[in-house]
Structure 1
Amino acid sequence: MLSPTPFSPSLLLTLGFAALLVLQLLTRLWLLSRQVRHVARHRAQVPAAFAQHVPLAAHQKAADYTLAKARVGLIDLALSTALLLAWTLLGGLDALHQQLLQWLGQGLHQQLALLAAFTLISGLAGLPLSLYQTFVVEQRFGFNKLTPRLWLADLVKSTLVGAVIGLPLAALILWLMASSGALWWLWAWIVWAGFNLLLMWLYPSVIAPLFNRFEPLKDEAIQQRVTALMQRCGFSAKGLFVMDGSRRSAHANAYFTGFGSAKRVVFYDTLLKQLAPNEVEAVLAHELGHFKHRHITKRLVGLFAMSLAALALLGWLSQQPWFYTGLGVRPSLDMLLSGASALAGNEAVALLLFMLVVPVLSFFLAPLMSYFSRRDEFQADAYAAAQAEGGALASALLTLYEDNASTLTPDPTYVAFYYSHPPAIERLARLPAPAPALAPNAS
């Protein structure tokens, strides 16, 4: 590894990255500890706003489930931080890169091998904790429906799908980085954006059926309500489908998927078992509210804008030798000595380093992103209350909070930082209550 000179850009990057990583770690530990203390402190009693709707046993189950997930989160935090350090400042990515150079020599095949090996090693490192979360935590609280055989089948299929889709895309991006000059990042962004739009269009009919069964909605009462709702809202979809979510989990959901004329409305079979027809209609009206307010389009535009800015930044960073050495990687010096740019021969390394560093920086934007997401949820709720029955949406949310063991007493600071959806007490306070007892105590 190259030794950075005192006060060099390389050393400053090393120190800055280490400081941000420590700050992120301490912040996440502080937030997690607040959440654990707050939930545990309120475990013994159902909040007054929910006392007539949620049994104490269900409230305590939600608290215990939240605390169990927090313990897993603490382990995940330690492992992910250690893995990030191992890949960067401790030289793991550099060692993998150099080893593959020795075995395969320089070229696109070596770059693809580096991306594939990094993905495989990272996936294997996270596998034990994922298994524990699924077969211990989810199992203990009655949510896991996966069998080891189905879990293995999902793993094999997702790996194959990822390879079939990801490797050609990665090869094209790497080729653009190597051959399209200083503006490679613009061409790469165009390819990436086009690929994401294509994937949104193909996902409902090509990819999703590889993992789940989708059958047309047969419940006539729900179908009539949903069809009338969509007509009132001026929304059209290719079909109404029920997904066999119960094969994998007891959690319930409903969502829109697809793009343009390929949009589908999908209900988990667990959702249809848990909610009455008017409640299902209200939940769907909430999802339609996102479309009415163009939340999906705005988020997509925002994502594309941020990805363009990120790739432009990478386009500059990838030309700086200190970007590599400051994060523990030796760039291909033979290319540099021959007069080539710092990017030449280091395309995959630049991509991976950037992918590793960006989450550390973007973590501190989480409160802002969470705020906008919660705002959108309130708008969608208001739309649903206007187009369907607000009381039905409130009762549906109460049922889903209880059945999914979502805590009713999260820590407010933790909520502000992480929650993409408003906590129950804030959300239900803005809706017509299913019973008079909910409203007076909700604020």
Structure 2
Amino acid sequence: MTQIVADDLNFAAMTDSLFSASFLLTSLFAAALCLSLVLRYWLSSRQIRHVAQHREAVPAAFADSISLAAHQKAADYTLAKARLGLFEMALGAAVLLGWTLLGGLSALNQALIPFTAHGMGQQLALLVAFVVISGAIDLPLSWYQTFVLEQRFGFNKMTFRLWLADLLKSSLIGALIGLPIAALILWMMATTGKLWWLWAWLFWMGFNLLLLVIYPTLIAPLFNKFAPLEDETLKARVTALMQRCGFSARGLFVMDGSKRSAHANAYFTGFGAAKRVVFYDTLLAKLSAPEVDAVLAHELGHFKHKHIIKRIISMFALSLAGFALLGYLTQQVWFYTGLGVQPNLASGNDALALLLFMLVMPVFSFFIAPFFAQLSRKHEFEADAYAVRQTSAQDLSSALLKLYEDNAATLTPDPLYVRFYYSHPGASERLARMQGVASAAR
């Protein structure tokens, strides 16, 4: 009798402990979600007010370069995106609550069990069903952004047929690549012991490095055409600049970005010997040769300061911490019950753990996003300074102003909004820094 009473007391204590841990996680998650929503709404409201208040006049520093019509278009475009962002924020929060505390993910898992065998088949089915449902929820917003918002401001160049083809191709590639990766990670979780998260992390990092190599030559050409740069004068300038900077690439390419958007850009892609320079055709149509030089020198500055390597190392470290945390949480019943999910008793819960982790972590990581944004802006300042020393502050300034104008990027963002979200500095601050670097170099 005494043993029975002791066992009952132990069971009651375990039950109370589980309930307390679950309640604590529920409370933390709900508080973090509410706080993030309030903060995001406040920041967006500040941005909307600040841009609207400065809509009627071009800032004095840009009065000779940007027309009032272009300034007002940028303001209107920024306001339209911000208001759509508020709707997306509300919808995203509702969907997140639906999946978690309101029991959507648990219900989906239970609904699939009668139609799938226990084990890997059931878990992969859960991942696929989740991705399909989430994609269907996001689809109307994607359509609206492309064919209403971007169309209204003259940026969209896509036809519905091309948009649909992109959707089908990206879905097919995602399935062909994602399903084997998901199956392998689930297999590691089930068979490699308590340190599965370390093996999964090593595999994930290896895959990401491989993707840096194969993406430019195997995946990107499925969506765009990449033709060698044919302008011999520009090619000679770019090659001379790269040699002066001690940089080599496998080729200089022009991408047909104009078939989808009027936005302009240039970038490096690939890794190691597979690096290549890619110019949007829209960029070459809008910038002079010296301005193209300056934009390219900015990108070279990222390599000279090893920003790419630093970001890869940061990604390695953060993902390692994430996998380690996931490795711990998968073993905790309160992780599931505290987020509205009833764990499986007859089969594994690895897919449930992966989905819950991906759903919940952005809520908490939101609060450290400003630190990464600040680091990114610091890198942009360093790349600008390098470009100014290699080319000309005037050419880089005029190129950036053209890009700001053509991309309808506002010249008057809210300063606090910039500090929290922007990965690139605001126009005023950025151009002032460049002029300071140029003055110091004289």
TM-score (norm. length: structure 1):
0.94
Q: Give the distance between the partners of 1:30 and 1:363, measured in 2 at CA.
A: 14
Give 1:75's aligned amino acid. Answer: F
Q: Does 1:219 align with 2:222?
A: no
User: In the alignment, is the contact (CA less than 8 A) between 1:239 and 1:265 conserved in 2?
Assistant: yes
Q: Give the distance between the partners of 1:200 and 1:114, measured in 2 at CA.
A: 29
Q: Does 1:388 align with 2:400?
A: no
Q: Does 1:371 align with 2:374?
A: yes
Q: Does 1:346 align with 2:358?
A: no
Cα offsets for 1:336-368 (capped at 9, x unmatched)? xxxxxxxxx000000000001110011001110
1:252 matched residue in structure 2: 264
Counterpart of 1:237 in 2: which secondary structure? coil
Cα offsets for 1:225-279 (capped at 9, x unmatched)? 1000000111110000000000000000000001111111000000000000000
Counterpart of 1:53 in 2: which secondary structure? coil
Within 5 Å, give how 1:270-349 maps onto structure 2: 270-334=282-346, 345-349=348-352
1:12 to 24, 43, 50: 24
Q: Give the distance between the partners of 2:43 and 2:360, measured in 1 at CA.
A: 21
2:416 matched residue in structure 1: 413
User: In the alignment, is the contact (CA less than 8 A) between 1:4 and 1:11 conserved in 2?
Assistant: no
Q: 1:100 to 1:6 in 2, by over 3 A?
A: closer
Q: Does 1:203 align with 2:206?
A: no
User: In the alignment, is the contact (CA less than 8 A) between 2:157 and 2:258 conserved in 1?
Assistant: yes
Q: Give the distance between the partners of 2:397 and 2:434, measured in 1 at CA.
A: 6
Count residues in correspondence. Answer: 424
Q: Does 1:239 align with 2:251?
A: yes
Structure 1 range deviating more: 59-68 or 216-225: 216-225
1:123 matched residue in structure 2: 135
User: In the alignment, is the contact (CA less than 8 A) between 1:4 and 1:326 conserved in 2?
Assistant: no
Deviation at 1:333, TM superposition (A): 2.4
User: In the alignment, is the contact (CA less than 8 A) between 1:5 and 1:11 conserved in 2?
Assistant: no
**RMSD of the TM alignment (CA)?**
1.5
Counterpart of 1:8 in 2: which secondary structure? helix
2:80 matched residue in structure 1: 68
Cα offsets for 1:299-345 (capped at 9, x unmatched)? 0100011000010011001100000000011111246xxxxxxxxx0
Q: Does 1:358 align with 2:361?
A: yes
Structure 1 range deviating more: 418-427 or 384-393: 384-393
Counterpart of 1:314 in 2: which secondary structure? helix
Cα offsets for 1:65-96 (capped at 9, x unmatched)? 00000111011001100000000000000011
1:338 matched residue in structure 2: none
Runs of at least 5 residues in structure 1 that lack an aligned partner in the other structure: 336-344, 434-438
1:132 to 144, 168, 191: 144
Q: Give the distance between the partners of 1:11 and 1:301, measured in 2 at CA.
A: 36
Within 5 Å, give how 1:37-186 maps onto structure 2: 37-186=49-198
Deviation at 1:102, TM superposition (A): 1.8
Q: Which structure has the highest helix share of the two?
A: 2
Percent identical pairs in the alignment equals 69
Q: 1:223 to 1:157 in 2, by over 3 A?
A: same
1:397 matched residue in structure 2: 400
Q: 1:130 to 1:265 in 2, by over 3 A?
A: same
User: In the alignment, is the contact (CA less than 8 A) between 2:19 and 2:334 conserved in 1?
Assistant: no
User: In the alignment, is the contact (CA less than 8 A) between 2:118 and 2:346 conserved in 1?
Assistant: no
